[in-house]
């Protein structure tokens, strides 16, 4: 029970990686808050895991402020906050609308900032806590058709480093996890929209397979556990099967 009685809040926790994180932290004894914009999946996740659902739109600063204040009031503290909520608008940069750009930036970059802005105050007052941002390999390497997603995740990685620098002296650590491809509804929807197939992903990943949810969860648990990762802050932990280590190259093919 590594997180016995700790208060752990996860945004976008109604499904996918977030929901898997909820289950893992509950198993480790934490009181877990499922913070999601979708009330149906958020409430279902709360019933399934005995977490507490709080509805929030992370892209709305007022909604975030209200949610963080309510959580701090109800639980009295916040030990771990995970910015996991995500959306992905795909298309070549010349074909995307400003709304597509705003949506990705709003949820994954501005949203992470709005949460940090409020949660940081609570944690600094406590003199303890840890914030984890779920970034992506797309924040480290470019992918065609993903301008807003890649830009938001790259920004999130830099936000991680700035917050780590500002909060270190207050006993609060800030790190990021950069997953490679893990089969969730988000990835499945991307495949259904076309432009990428499961095989094209597998070909790109040196380990030849997608990641398991559990493999991302384990990295988050490690960064959240202040006894295990006590001297780590500002880190970007890649869980990508070698995606970012590998420079795709077809030496005997014309298909560069
Ligand atoms: N699945 C992957 O392969 C992969 C790889 C790298 C990074 N990631 C990142 O991991 C995170 C989770 O991804 P996933 O695959 O589980 O996605 P998902 O689509 O399954 O889940 C995303 C969750 O975020 C919630 N959400 C969306 N907008 C929100 C908002 N404005 N406010 C609050 N909640 C909101 C959704 O309701 C949903 O529950 C995302 O940040 C994603 O970019 C995923």
The pLDDT value given to residue 251 = 66
CA distances (Å), 71 to each of 46, 60, 78, 108, in order? 15, 17, 8, 21
Separation of CA 40 and ligand 1 centre (Å): 15
Any ligand 1 atom below 6 A from CB of 133: no
Is residue 116 domain-resident? yes
Ligand 1 pocket check for 161: Cβ under 6 Å: no
- Active site residue ranges: 149
Q: Is 124 in the pocket of ligand 1 (CB under 6 A)?
A: no
Q: Is residue 143 part of a domain?
A: yes
pLDDT of res. 256: 46
Asked whether residue 179 is domain-assigned, the answer is yes
194, part of any domain: yes
What pLDDT was estimated at residue 194?
83
pLDDT tens profile 56-88: 999 999 999 999 999 999 999 999 999 999 999
Q: How much distance in Å is there from the Cα of 84 to the middle of ligand 1? A: 6
User: Does residue 67 lie in a domain region?
Assistant: yes
CATH number, domain containing residue 218 = 3.40.50.720
131 φ, ψ (degrees, to nearest 5): -115, 135
Residue 254 falls inside a structural domain: no
> C-alpha angle with apex 124: 46 to 176, nearest 5 degrees?
60
Residue-level pLDDT at 22: 98
HEC secondary structure over the chain: CCCCCCEEEEECCCCHHHHHHHHHHHHCCCEEEEEECCHHHHHHHHHHHCCEEEECCCCCHHHHHHHHHHHHHHHCCCCEEEECCCCCCCECCCCCCHHHHHHHHHHHHHHHHHHHHHHHHHHHHHCCEEEEEECCHHHCCCCCCEHHHHHHHHHHHHHHHHHHHHHHHHCEEEEEEEECCECCHHHHHHHHCCCCCHHHHHHHCCCCCCECHHHHHHHHHHHHCCCCCCCCCCCEEEECCCCCCCCCCCCCCCCC
26 lies in which domain range?
Answer: 7-239
User: Which residues share a beta bridge with 53?
Assistant: 34
Q: Which residue positions in the chain have pLDDT lower than 70?
A: 250-256
Is 36 domain-assigned? yes
| CA of 59 relative to ligand 1 center, distance in Å | 13
Q: How many domains does the chain have?
A: 1
Is 252 a member of any domain?
no
User: What does residue 26 show for φ and ψ, rounded to 5 degrees?
Assistant: -60, -45
Gyration radius of the chain's alpha carbons:
18
To test the pocket of ligand 1, the residue of 23, 180, 186 to mutate (highest count of ligand atoms within 8 Å of its CB) is 186
């Amino acid at each position: 029970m590594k997180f016995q009685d700790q208060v752990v809040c996860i945004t976008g926790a109604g499904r996918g990686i977030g929901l898997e994180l909820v289950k893992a932290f509950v198993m480790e004894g934490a009181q877990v808050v499922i913070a999601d914009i979708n009330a149906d999946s958020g409430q279902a996740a709360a019933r399934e895991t005995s977490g507490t659902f709080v509805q929030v739109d992370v892209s709305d600063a007022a909604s975030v402020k209200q949610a963080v204040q309510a959580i701090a009031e109800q639980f009295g503290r916040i030990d771990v906050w995970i910015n996991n909520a995500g959306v992905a608008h795909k298309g070549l940069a010349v074909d995307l609308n400003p709304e597509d750009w705003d949506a990705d930036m709003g949820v994954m970059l501005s949203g992470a900032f709005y949460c940090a802005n409020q949660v940081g105050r609570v944690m600094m007052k406590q003199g303890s806590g840890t914030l984890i941002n779920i970034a992506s390999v797309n924040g480290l390497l470019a992918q065609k058709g993903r301008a807003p997603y890649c830009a938001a995740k790259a920004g999130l990685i830099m936000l991680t480093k700035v917050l780590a620098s500002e909060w270190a002296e207050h006993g609060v650590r800030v790190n990021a996890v950069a997953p490679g491809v893990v089969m969730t509804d988000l990835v499945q929807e991307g495949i259904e929209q076309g432009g990428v197939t499961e095989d094209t992903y597998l070909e790109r990943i040196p380990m030849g397979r997608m990641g398991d949810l559990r493999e991302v969860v384990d990295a988050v648990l490690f960064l959240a556990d202040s006894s295990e990762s006590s001297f780590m802050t500002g880190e970007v932990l890649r869980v990508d099967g070698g995606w970012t280590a590998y420079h795709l190259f077809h030496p005997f093919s014309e298909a560069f």
